Amino acid sequence: MKFAIWGFQSDVEISRHVTEILEVLLSDGHEAYLLDSFADLLDMDNPKVHVITKDQIPRDTDFIISIGGDGTLLSAAQAVMRTPIPILGINLGSLGFLTSLERDWRSGLGNIMKSHYHIEERMVLNCRLEFPDGSEETLWALNDVVIERADIFNLLPLEVRVGDELLNRYLADGLIISTPTGSTAYALSAGGPIIDPSLDAILITPISAHTLSVRPVVLTGEKKIYINLATSDSQASLHIDGKNTREIDSSLRIRIRPSSYRIQLVVTPDNTFYEKLRKKLHWGQRSS
């Protein structure tokens, strides 16, 4: 089997885990690939490991192993967005809603190599930026598309349409458009609901809306959403999965819809979505 190791941070703990993972993979006769920038951070030079750029990940790779937290896994998702390569996340961060294994990954990785796992396909958003000269740029988000005000002293006016119909004219610090996967990320902290990741749905969550009656809205997954900055002097920042930032203004129209691409996440039997909710959010536990 072929495993590609993905990460973009390094410390003593991360280096130790990567070294141990590579030892396990190589001792079992698997092929191991390591992202070149990650290898440089780790100061790792193992002749048995193939060091590659993100554009050189073999399409027949069996798994990408993401070493870090949810942010690391999101960056791995961007790299394999248009390929069928499953992502196995090992959480060395704090929360780890997207990852499958924790710091005690050894038995879990062994079970995965014995095919004791299943794949969850996660919805992806297609975000198209439409410029006034007719040009376009397309971005993809596993978690969310976030539009935030650039001016810290003024609220951001946003007009949102669902298809041809006006949904609302928001006045807020910004807007979060998320997948069910992203419902446990920024949208959750902004007061949005938790959505089962197996659903095809789009969540629109305002950030600190001027009017208290403005609430999060859940749309069916086939909808197309169009967003404009509502005044000519408005400026904002657009973020894709917390990265890929673009500065935007009122001359731009944003179209968001479900993508035909799906991200494949490796899930172990003892770390399902509901299990994560109970563990990560401490549900059912009495406060001391």
Provide the token pair at 272.
């399902």
Catalytic residue check, 70: yes
Provide the 8-state DSSP code for 15. Answer: H
Looking at beta carbons, which pairs linking 258-262 to residues 24 or more positions away fall under 8 Å? 258/123, 258/124, 258/125, 258/126, 258/200, 258/202, 258/221, 258/222, 259/123, 259/124, 259/125, 259/126, 259/140, 260/126, 261/81, 261/82, 261/124, 261/126, 261/140, 262/121, 262/122, 262/123, 262/124
Inter-residue contact 179 to 202 (CB < 8 Å):
yes
Cα 248 to Cα 148, 205, 240, 257, 265, distances in angstroms: 10, 19, 13, 19, 32
- Alpha carbon separation from 274 to 59, 277, 279 (Å, rounded): 31, 5, 9
d(CA 108, CA 55): 28
Alpha-carbon distances, residue 115 vs 99, 264, 277 (angstroms)? 17, 15, 25
- Pairing verdict, β 144-149 and 174-178: antiparallel
Of 11, 36, 45, 70, the catalytic one is: 70
Token representation of residue 51: 């060091």
For residues 22 and 30, the answer to whether their CB atoms sit within 8 Å is no
Catalytic residues: 70
